[in-house]
Structure 1
């Protein structure tokens, strides 16, 4: 029997595939992302009022560390694990921006460019190390580390930017309208072919933070501050319920699970 005959009859070798650690970017992704940003904003403020700023930051940091530990431990994307980590990043990212402003007295005009520089540094290091910033490539521990560092920086940046526009006269509703128009810019630019998919994604991702936070603040805060005065606690519960409903739907239907790709 010849070698060619053996090769011909040998069972085909199975191609190893790497499971993605992040969800497929669908309309559900963007809706839940905006909801987590708003929920993180009001939850952070609610916890700070309930426990005090320092204990709240400590609790937020521990919850974030636990959520990320579970996220890194699993070998693939799991809806409730991933979105729990995003919620904790949202809460702690808000706290980080607020600590700089409220606790240390750093104005938003300085904290906003600071977090912008931090995000740019993450992107530069990520690209130099991996040669891509695409979320479709999150298959290794190192890329996942860069991904979550970028996510944390976007939340802190978005918080500072949203508070900056609200404090210069736009108010929370005005800021929400501004960022609603702003988030359409990368989408339209990508649709017209003037902006690549990776840049468009991260631009929109950053803008979701001040968009969701501005809407949540407008709903929660008092009439004297330009809000609907629904309260921090109730708004946090409403947005959490919406997140739970959508994540449960995705965990059941797997509509946001991207097919595994060859490494």
Structure 2
């Protein structure tokens, strides 16, 4: 059995909600109301990420609550790390996005060079999982930087950035059905873009009106997103037998 879920509408819905929640939770702890700062947030969240990842790697099959906990933690620690790099260290949104994009490209090329499958539905080895989670952590860290880059450096604002990213996702969906472009290439493109989409969507709702948001705040935003995530993951737990594939081990490693 694959330890990762099938890719479909439910997968993308949970991915977007989880990564959007990650942005909100990181802001809640690092900025307001807790105001612990980015460095402290990175340490706390990276520890939590490591613990959830160990649970995932030790799992014998797909366990929705564990899998999505790791996704959520990559988004939370990724947001805090990106903000620390860009604001505390001083790389800026453009510099941070450039560094993280380069790292993600290197990881994806390295993964491809190993000969291990990059089709997430068919990953069933620990090495494959490690590559997957490394790419996920980097893409979710990049998502915050790229979302801020579009909103602030390019000047699109939160709503404009959300519109651009939503359009890009629709184009990828159309390409999936209407073009012969590799499904794996389209998957990873969409997988990376869901993170900045979640970031700018969260900022649109959470940030004060003076900053271009709706002024809902991090507490209410986080609570609503958490409730939606629990409902979606709960549904997947009830239907998890239909959410994974039974794999031919030899075929996977080809």
Establish whether TM, by shorter chain, passes 0.5. yes
Of 65, 80, 87, 2:50 maps to 65
Which deviations, in whole Å up to 9, do the C-alpha atoms of 1:163-206 show, x marking residues without a partner?
Answer: 00110321111111110001122221222224110000000011
Of 111-120 and 243-252, deviating more is 111-120
The corresponding residue for 2:232 is 246
Q: If the length of structure 2 is used for normalisation, what is the TM-score?
A: 0.93
The corresponding residue for 2:10 is 28
Distance 1:157 1:195 in 2: 24
The corresponding residue for 1:192 is 178
Q: If the length of structure 1 is used for normalisation, what is the TM-score?
A: 0.90
The corresponding residue for 1:12 is none
**Are the counterparts in 2 of residues 26 and 256 from structure 1 also a CA contact under 8 Å?**
no
Distance 2:71 2:242 in 1: 15
In structure 2, the gaps of 5 or more residues are 250-254
Distance 1:237 1:255, change over 3 A: farther
Distance 2:109 2:172 in 1: 20
Offset of residue 256 of structure 1: 5.1
**Are the counterparts in 1 of residues 169 and 193 from structure 2 also a CA contact under 8 Å?**
yes
Of 157, 168, 173, 2:159 maps to 173
Offset of residue 54 of structure 1: 2.2
The corresponding residue for 1:160 is 145
Distance 1:128 1:67 in 2: 27
Of 180-189 and 142-151, deviating more is 180-189
The corresponding residue for 1:217 is 203
Distance 1:255 1:35, change over 3 A: farther
RMSD between aligned residues = 1.2
